[in-house]
Amino acid sequence: MSLVIKGASLLGEETTDLYVDDSGSFVDTAPSGAETIDAEGLVALPGLVDLHTHLREPGREDAETILTGSQAAALGGYTAVLAMANTTPVTDTAEAATRVWELGREAGLVHVQPVGAVTRGLGGEELAELGLMHRSRAGVTVFSDDGKCVHDARVMRRALEYVKAFGGVVSQHSQDPTLAGPAACCHEGELSGRLGLPGWPGIAEEVIVARDVMLARHTGSRVHVAHVSTAGSVEVLRWAKAQARQDGHWDVTAEVTPHHLLLTTDLLTGYDPTFKVNPPLRPQEDVDALREALADGTIDAVATDHAPHARHDKEHAFVDAAFGMLGLETALGVVRTVMEDLSWADIARVMSVTPARIAGLGGQGRVLAPGSPANVVLVDPEADVTVDRDASSSLSRNNPWHGRSLTSRVVHTVYAGRVTVRDGALVQA
């Protein structure tokens, strides 16, 4: 299908027409017989890229499938998502990674890029098939045991050394299990003591971040810090990035979730398991530090950590409920609501351009110009949207934004030249 996107505001600045031919790329002139999208008053951004999505398939199709997660992603303005490895079975082999990649292609709504496990079965002891996953059709370049920390320094060092050979990156869930065990579920402090909830101190994240950036420096490799949640981690990252720029032979990147940019630990006073997430919500001083770090580039990207759960896993007493929140359909609105000083170019940088670079997705996060793949989202910057969890395309309803008003609305999404969302609704293939 060829397209003419009329009157779009590129990154919120100049207004122009965009032309897409039937190869799915931007071209110089309008193709004959093209479908027209009226984009007057809409901001055009490169399609969003999520570094951290849980699609649950295979194994937990009651919570999400690759198809339903892809639908939620497209509605949120995404054209690529990285599917985390903690599925059942774990994505720790070339065959498992290829199957996730194939299911993503069958859904056809976004580029679904598998993340490979760092260790077999997320066990933390033996490296998974890193090289085979990379050489598979899935072309895996990002590896993570997310949900669990690669807590053994020797194993983490070996993983960093291994992926260096092909330019891969290890994404770490930073949680020292000796300081914050599996029961830890509330930021450690006065509130956790008053509520009687097991504490999850910030230092349990910060010591792993500090260790891993030093391991990356030692190995000359790449480490990515998932879902940063504390001011202390920001301090470590600032130092590490300065050192990496000076040394030039290693790299550290980091992401923050929308929920850690806005929600605080005070929400736990009602014991609502919707707000149980790992790492936990933190106090306002941490939230403020995360916002500042995202604005100044210390934190590179926004990643949703979209974590759907079936109701029978989430609707329990707080300590027994599953960790995680939905995020794909609301991420852009949260960022626009919270980070008011970010320009549209900045939003494109942290939600598309930089995530695509970290993940090695050459067809994503590109300038909207002739020769680039037509991955684009068109946003109404003036719209206010009240979130309704029951209107979500996700199979799950653990939505922390229910009833909140967020700024901006995704109107159209175009993936590889195909309109996947038109006027805020999914387009059936």
Give yes or no: 305 in active site: yes
List the beta bridge partners of residue 3.
20, 35
Is 238 a known ligand-binding residue? no
Q: Which burial class, exposed, middle or buried, applies to 286 when counting CB atoms under 10 A from its CB (0-12, 13-18, 19+)?
A: buried
Is 294 a known ligand-binding residue? no
- The helix/strand/coil state of 419 is strand
Mean pLDDT across 21-38 = 95
Q: Report CA 193 to chain centroid distance, whole Å.
A: 31
Q: Is the pLDDT of residue 351 over 80?
A: yes
Label the pairing between strands 199-200 and 15-20: unpaired
* Rounded Cα distance, 160 and 399, in Å: 35
Q: Is the pLDDT of residue 428 over 90?
A: no
69 phi/psi in degrees, rounded to 5: -65, -40
Is 173 a known ligand-binding residue? yes
pLDDT tens, 122-159? 999 999 999 999 999 999 999 999 999 999 999 999 99
Mean pLDDT across 317-341 = 98
Label the pairing between strands 301-302 and 251-256: parallel
Cβ 333 vs Cβ 385: under 8 Å: yes
pLDDT tens, 222-242? 999 999 999 999 999 999 999
Residue burial 118-156, b: 16+ Cβ < 10 Å; e: rest: bbeebebeebbbbbebbebebbbbbbbbbbbbbbeeebb
Q: Is the pLDDT of residue 1 over 90?
A: no
pLDDT tens, 251-271? 999 999 999 999 999 999 999
pLDDT of residue 153: 98
Is 146 a known ligand-binding residue? yes
pLDDT of residue 4: 97
Is 403 a known ligand-binding residue? no
Mean pLDDT across 407-411 = 98
Is 323 a known ligand-binding residue? yes
pLDDT of residue 192: 98
* Rounded Cα distance, 224 and 358, in Å: 8
Label the pairing between strands 142-143 and 111-114: unpaired
DSSP 292-307: HHHHHTSS-EE---B-
Q: Which residue has the tokens 């999208």?
A: 37
With bands split at pLDDT 50, 70 and 90, how would you rate the model's confidence at 429? low
pLDDT tens, 53-81? 999 999 999 999 999 999 999 999 999 99
Q: Considering 21, 305, 313, 380, which one is annotated as catalytic?
A: 305
Q: Is the pLDDT of residue 312 over 80?
A: yes
What percent of the chain is predicted at pLDDT more than 90? 99
Is 306 a known ligand-binding residue? no
| pTM of the model as a whole | 0.98
pLDDT of residue 149: 98
Cβ 158 vs Cβ 127: under 8 Å: yes
pLDDT of residue 356: 98
Cβ 395 vs Cβ 65: under 8 Å: yes
pLDDT of residue 288: 98
Label the pairing between strands 418-422 and 405-415: antiparallel
What integer best gives the mean pLDDT of the chain? 97
CA dihedral 171, 73, 348, 34 (to 10 degrees): 140
Is 86 a known ligand-binding residue? yes
373 phi/psi in degrees, rounded to 5: -60, 140
Half-sphere exposure of 405 (CA within 13 A, CB side): 3
Q: Report CA 185 to chain centroid distance, whole Å.
A: 21
Is 261 a known ligand-binding residue? no
With bands split at pLDDT 50, 70 and 90, how would you rate the model's confidence at 212? very high
pLDDT of residue 367: 96
